[in-house]
Structure 1
Amino acid sequence: MYLTSFIHREELLRIAQRWLCGRAEPFDAMLLTRIFICDGYVLGETLETVTGEIVGKLYCGEFRKVRIRSKGGLRDELCHITGEISPRMAYLFDRYRKNSEYFYYQTPVNGVLCIDDGGRLIAAYRIKRPKRIAEKANRRIANWIFQTVQNRAQTMADARAKKSGIALDQLITPREEMDREFIEAEESIADSFRQGAIRFDRSSITIDDVGGVKILGTQEQLAKIEGALRSDPSIGVGERESFYGSYEASSLILDIPWDPEEVCRKYRDSKSWEKYLNRGISASELKKGIEPLLENAEARIKVELILSTPEAMVESELGNSIHEERIIFQRDHKPYKGYIPTNVEFLLEYLFAVGLGPAAEIKDVPIKLWGRYLPDTLVMFIRELFQLPQYDLFY
């Protein structure tokens, strides 16, 4: 799990790799807490700065920022769009107003909307929630494991073909034999985790979009923004990924610097330390500022920039490409649904819960990649972290 939006991504990766092999260290809980406080704050402040700079390239007036905790807040603001409204947009607005709960109104989100003085939504930025990061890591690692398992199963088939003295393409393998070889290869991968011998290809576990910005404008305005960003020597702009069909937008990965002096000043002036009470670090330590947490921080981070028109945005939130439907599709259509990637997702959810919770120390990683668990088990472990009662015990 290499999160390029975080400034302590190398340290977080080392912890995650150890945990995937079932090896926690006593100070891990405190390290995770420090990383999530520091890196989350730096990312949030940097997203605010970058969004303001990009919006300033398009709009001269002031805009206000509205924090949202659910998708309903975003969709309510979308319905206030002014200007040219297409018949399709008007139809979707009407459907939404008649039954907003049908549109996943309560979907949690950690974001900020930027609204101009005319009441129009012009931009938004968000930090991806831990659950979604864990799910994305599941898919990335599942693809890597699936390919590795297939390669090992292929090696087994090659060996059988040679033993039989025939070419591989002439080998006829019964379905039961293929299933057995796949299971054996999967168990071999699980044992590699258990022995601490697994080595990931970093590209297979890199996630660049933990921090994200979305800008709304005409095609001409969006092209102007992209051109301005590509001509800025301080910003690295990756290749554009364009989406067509039911979901239309363009995505760019930006490699950007962040301003330590400004971030530290804002942390002090806004008393941001108050947000991090009950996280295992004393108030007196938090009041000292964020500077003690910045040791070994990277100077640059990556965030995703999505460029979209208002019409496409409305379609993606209220129409045929509604975001939650895409999430459900991804969950239901995984190429590989073995127990290992499921355990990866559970383990990473637990890792985030440790860093976001009150525990200052943990003794063990309760989820092992070579074990098997129900979602109920993860819920139990997380409730224990937060010292909550197991609510399903009647007696």
Structure 2
Amino acid sequence: MRQFGIMITIGSFLHREVLNDIILRWMYDQARPSDADLIVRLSHFNRVYVSRYLEQFAGLIFRELHQCQLFPRPVQLKGELKDVIVEHPSCSNARIEEMILDYGQNPGRYYRETPFHGILYFCRRNGCMEYVGSSRIKRVRRLAEKTARRIIDRIFASVRRHADTLADERARLLSIPREQLFTAPEEMTEEFLQAEKRLLNDLRERRPIAGAAEELAINDVAGVKVILEESEQRKLMELFERLPNCEIVEEEKHTGRYNATNLIVRYRPPREEILAHPLGRRILSVMQARGLSPYETNQAFAEFVRSGEEDVLLEIILSTYQEMLESEIGRCIHEDRIIEQRLCQQYRGPLARNIEYLLEYLFTFPVSFQKEFGELPIKLWNRYLPDYFDEILKKLFRIPPDNFLD
């Protein structure tokens, strides 16, 4: 379905067009009963597949870079990562010592309880365990939030273009150039609200939204952080030139408060090697609760992988030890940047909140106790208080409402 005019591509997943179709249909309140089973498979099978190929990919990268035995350590919280990087510094100077001292004096200020579904990688050097990098899978809430933000930004641009069209029309009626048009703040607000109302009507009437024909790519669901000092960083680029199943498709250097190189890499996972290992107990239990036997789940997963795209996209962050410290406990803490993004979002009206609610519901449904749904609980053109969405999430997990004792 391309009514909305955009393609939402989550590059680390398989069956990307199927997921895109569900998201767009749900935005137009066109869910199907079969979506309940489909979104569960898309979510759970992709999570398993990403976890497997990411561990395989990260292991390959770190072994090739360091030519040593790897010691992986799964972690669940950011505090586990932050403790490791301050306990085993690979170099030292006054700034590094300052950051480590500040962290040790008040570790609770550094978002230690942030969920972090990742693996830390170590090499043994000179009798010590040296941290060389990590891999992580973006959490469900962060994926929903980022997807929603991309859609909201595109919708905001569409609304703003229509508001500009209204201003152009006023300038034409006054026979003056647009740049000479004075618009009082209340008129600007009214024009924006008119444009927003028109867009909501387009959604409700299932009409395409003008000016939104552009792909929205989210390529960092699977990510690897590589720690190399500047003199060694060329080794990573040389490695990708040698590896047959990898290629860098995008490179972005960040300088300023945050200094690192972000790479988007196209990778072709060894599908049959991944499928050679049966699924684990937890995913089998989850799918059995939804009506699939262990045998059926393994068969369905194999079909899911073999019928999906051959390659995936993932993110690599290349950083020095000191800059990695800055991003975890220094001047540009990752969690601070997330909060800043949330606060600085240009468009924060009811439609923006509804898109966030809808996407979080979509990505949360597969891990809930609910097996089917009829009517979607969120329509983008309606208005809701946050309390309403709280109740929706409670129902998904069978949490009693506040008045359950009445």
Report the TM range for the smaller structure's normalisation: over 0.9
- Match of 2:117, SS? strand
Given the alignment of the two structures, is residue 371 of structure 1 paired with residue 364 of structure 2, yes or no? Answer: no
Tell me which residue corresponds to 1:349.
360
Deviates more, 1:86-95 or 1:147-156: 86-95
Name the % identity.
32
C-alpha distance in structure 2 between counterparts of 1:157 and 1:142, whole Å: 22
Q: What does residue range 1-395 of structure 1 map to in structure 2 within 5 Å?
A: 1-117=8-124, 118-199=128-209, 200-203=212-215, 205-268=216-279, 270-271=280-281, 273-274=283-284, 276-277=286-287, 280-284=290-294, 285-288=296-299, 290-294=301-305, 296-391=307-402, 395=406
Deviation of the 1:83 alpha carbon:
3.9
Q: Is 1:80–1:120's contact at 8 Å kept on the other side of the alignment?
A: no
Cα pair distance change 1:292/1:231, threshold 3 Å: closer
Deviations 1:82-123 (A, max 9, x none): 442222222222222232222111011211111222322111
C-alpha distance in structure 1 between counterparts of 2:256 and 2:184, whole Å: 41
Which amino acid in 1 is paired with 2:120? Answer: L
C-alpha distance in structure 2 between counterparts of 1:206 and 1:25, whole Å: 25
Cα pair distance change 1:376/1:110, threshold 3 Å: farther
Deviates more, 1:322-331 or 1:90-99: 90-99
Cα pair distance change 1:302/1:48, threshold 3 Å: same
Deviation of the 1:314 alpha carbon:
1.0
Deviation of the 1:144 alpha carbon:
1.1
Q: Is 1:253–1:302's contact at 8 Å kept on the other side of the alignment?
A: yes
Deviation of the 1:244 alpha carbon:
1.5
Deviates more, 1:131-140 or 1:297-306: 131-140
Q: Is 1:4–1:302's contact at 8 Å kept on the other side of the alignment?
A: yes
C-alpha distance in structure 1 between counterparts of 2:201 and 2:221, whole Å: 30
Deviations 1:346-385 (A, max 9, x none): 1100001112223221112111111222333222111101
Deviates more, 1:31-40 or 1:287-296: 287-296
Deviations 1:165-205 (A, max 9, x none): 333233322322221111010111122222222354342x3
Deviations 1:106-157 (A, max 9, x none): 0112111112223221111111112112222232122212211111111112
User: TM-score, normalized by length of structure 2?
Assistant: 0.91
C-alpha distance in structure 2 between counterparts of 1:222 and 1:9, whole Å: 32
Deviates more, 1:233-242 or 1:271-280: 271-280
User: TM-score, normalized by length of structure 1?
Assistant: 0.93
Q: Is 2:44–2:283's contact at 8 Å kept on the other side of the alignment?
A: no
C-alpha distance in structure 2 between counterparts of 1:23 and 1:12, whole Å: 14
Deviation of the 1:272 alpha carbon:
6.0
Number of positions where the alignment pairs a residue of Structure 1 with one of Structure 2: 393
C-alpha distance in structure 2 between counterparts of 1:207 and 1:109, whole Å: 19
Tell me, which stretches of 5 or more residues in structure 2 are unaligned? Answer: 1-7
- Match of 2:87, SS? coil
Tell me, which stretches of 5 or more residues in structure 1 are unaligned? Answer: none
Deviates more, 1:98-107 or 1:157-166: 157-166
Q: Is 1:33–1:355's contact at 8 Å kept on the other side of the alignment?
A: yes
C-alpha distance in structure 2 between counterparts of 1:99 and 1:278, whole Å: 45
- Match of 2:84, SS? helix
Cα pair distance change 1:368/1:289, threshold 3 Å: closer
Which amino acid in 1 is paired with 2:274? Answer: V
Q: Is 2:88–2:130's contact at 8 Å kept on the other side of the alignment?
A: yes
C-alpha distance in structure 2 between counterparts of 1:80 and 1:196, whole Å: 56
C-alpha distance in structure 1 between counterparts of 2:214 and 2:53, whole Å: 25
Which amino acid in 2 is paired with 1:130? Answer: V
Cα RMSD (Å):
2.0
C-alpha distance in structure 2 between counterparts of 1:272 and 1:261, whole Å: 21
Cα pair distance change 1:137/1:75, threshold 3 Å: same
Tell me which residue corresponds to 2:4.
none
